[in-house]
Chains A and B, each alone.
Chain A
Amino acid sequence: MTNRELDQLQQVHELVYESCLRLNAEDWKGYLDLCDPDSFRYRIVNYSPEIRREQCWMDRDFKGLKALFDLLPKHNSDHSPLTRHATVYKVTFDESAGEASAITLLSIYRTQLDGVNSHFESGQTSLFAVGKYEDRIRLGNGTGPARLLGRTVRLDTRQLDIGSHYPF
């Protein structure tokens, strides 16, 4: 690997992992700072063998995602934090476009707080969902750092308990 390739790979790893750390910290603004405001598209999808179709459970552009984050304090959510554990498995580069695609395997754990009887259950951690991120990334160059252009969360898990107000 050339130094340039190593640098690009590191940019992708850092961006993906940083995005998880910020989401885990519920630092929604910090997460959006990692996304390209003009082209970011966030989707959560899965394949349902029940209806034998690909289905989409969330589809938002940058503005839509920001609106969702801004409204979180107005919702009566389950406040159990979600913890994303991610491993970047595969990165491919499109040199001419200055972009990369990354596949990241993802497990999401939930640590109970107030979603159920908190006296008995707060503090318990369980596996909440598994899937992967399919990210499209603009690589950093002289004009700016690497940014997320698009993220598709492809879920294997199709039963999400009561669901979540927090995107994965």
Chain B
Amino acid sequence: MSNAVMERTPAGEHKQRHTRNLAEWSRRPQLPDTHYVDTRVYTDPIIFREEIEKIFNRVWLPVCHESELPNPYDYRTASVAGFKPIVVVRGPDNKIRTFLNICPHRGNIIVRSPAGTLTKAEPSGNPKHMTCMFHGWQWDAFGRCAEIPREEQGYQGRVCKADVGLREIRTEVAHGGFVWVNLDDNCEPLADYIAGAFDFMSQELDTEPLEIFHYQKSVIRTNYKLWHETSREFYHDYMHYHNRATGMLQKGYFDRKYTVFPNGHAATGLTTIVYEAYEGNKDRVLTFPGMPKNGWKQVNIFPACTYSLRASCLRVSIMTPISERETLIEIRGLGLKRDTPQEREERIIDHDTIWGPFGRNLHEDLLAVQNQSIAMREGSGSKYLIMAREENSTIHDEIGLRSYFAEWTRRMGRMASDPTRLLED
């Protein structure tokens, strides 16, 4: 090619450096098929529907924090695995249960507010009950049907309260007091699914109760995997001035290790950040039980959740996929329940500086994943993403991405590097 130049690779070979024509651009990377991904896994609506069926309908998903429903009869609504509406309710026995938030009569949403208490009566329903506003059917906080207006006259025993309880969804509260649900009635217990991925953070998360202080959400025009991937690779620290100026310049930055767990989870080991290196930052003094000052640990739970415990605050990011190109991203900030008002204020400021909607990093991360989605839209000409960095499982190694796609491949029965290829092939 006319515009070629010679390059000497680190291995000492001479290679020609040149642009690529369409055939060359479309050629599979000369890498193991675990080390690159076909962009159709982010853009194909059929693959997306299959992900909901084979992944999201079967795994444990965190949906909210217990402090969002602190008292008996408190509730929180959400949706999981695409559009499945759910309502999480704390019963009079203090136990948290989850139900599909769909009326078995004629399909209305039952509980409508994002959060609240059932102790107040609805315009057409009794207190301590969930009332469907359409025809006034009611359920108690255990999900049992308590009222069908004119039941006997209309159904003559053909339909009765005993037949129309709510669909209950497997629920556990764990790992810092988060409420986890699983749509599969026959799923393994949460602890088996997590497979020890939280062990290195359990002292911080589970010594004493945590409390939410920050909630933010956005529907971002991106595939959910792209957002999760930003948490699984630190090579993009080059994007964040904050990280270039603090973490990356510190001794030991390149030694920080990834640990890969079963079921696709991955953790990044403890590091400490010298915040003084960043102009305008106050030193952080608050921490979590067992966590050194200015420490930072992170765990990524397959398929769509990240816990990041950084200095004085815990950030938990949860994604709900809406379509192959839209994702609801929810970000929660938590401190210790016993914080004094002054301590809480400090944690909030620390949290917002990095991760608030006006923080330094979040905006950059979201901008990048949205732009990725634009660039690799179906028909754009995008072909492959390279995930081939190997650095002995340290910080810029892309093992976190590869472990994700290993699990994805196992559950989907398709190669991420060529989704048209089924595993049996």
Contacts and interface: CB of A to CB of B under 8 A. Distances in A.
B352 A71 contact: no
A156 to B, nearest CB: 14
B367 A76 contact: yes
Interface string A18-58: 00000000000000000000000000100011111101111
Given A50-B114, A117-B374, A57 B363 contact: no
B221 interface: yes
B241 A71 contact: yes
Interface stretch (A7-15, A92-100, A101-109, A158-166): A158-166
B115 A50 contact: yes
A77 B363 contact: yes
A163 B215 contact: no
Nearest to A120: B374
B18 to A, nearest CB: 27
Interface stretch (B82-90, B192-200, B268-276, B354-362): B354-362
A162 B218 contact: yes
B47 interface: no
Contacts of A56: 345, 348, 352
B280 A159 contact: no
Contacts of A59: 345, 348-349, 352
A163 B358 contact: yes
Contacts, number: 106
Contacts of A70: 279-280
A10 to B, nearest CB: 31
A117 B366 CA distance: 14
B122 interface: no
A134 interface: no
A78 B280 contact: no
B393 to A, nearest CB: 28
A167 interface: yes
B378 to A, nearest CB: 14
A contacts with B: majority SS: loop
A64 B280 contact: yes
A75 B364 contact: yes
A49 B114 CA distance: 7
B68 A51 contact: yes
B279 A67 contact: yes
Contacts of A51: 68, 115, 212, 215
A165 B68 contact: no
A117 B220 CA distance: 14
B216 interface: yes
B217 A159 contact: yes
A160 B352 contact: no
Contacts of A161: 218, 220
Contacts of A158: 216-217
Nearest to A65: B280
Interface of B: 68, 76, 113-116, 212-221, 239-241, 279-280, 345, 348-349, 352, 356-360, 362-364, 366-368, 370-371, 374
28 contacts: A44-B358, A49-B114, A50-B217, A51-B115, A51-B215, A52-B115, A55-B213, A55-B215, A57-B214, A57-B356, A57-B357, A59-B349, A75-B364, A76-B364, A76-B368, A77-B363, A115-B370, A116-B221, A116-B371, A117-B374, A158-B217, A161-B218, A163-B218, A163-B359, A163-B366, A164-B357, A165-B358, A165-B363
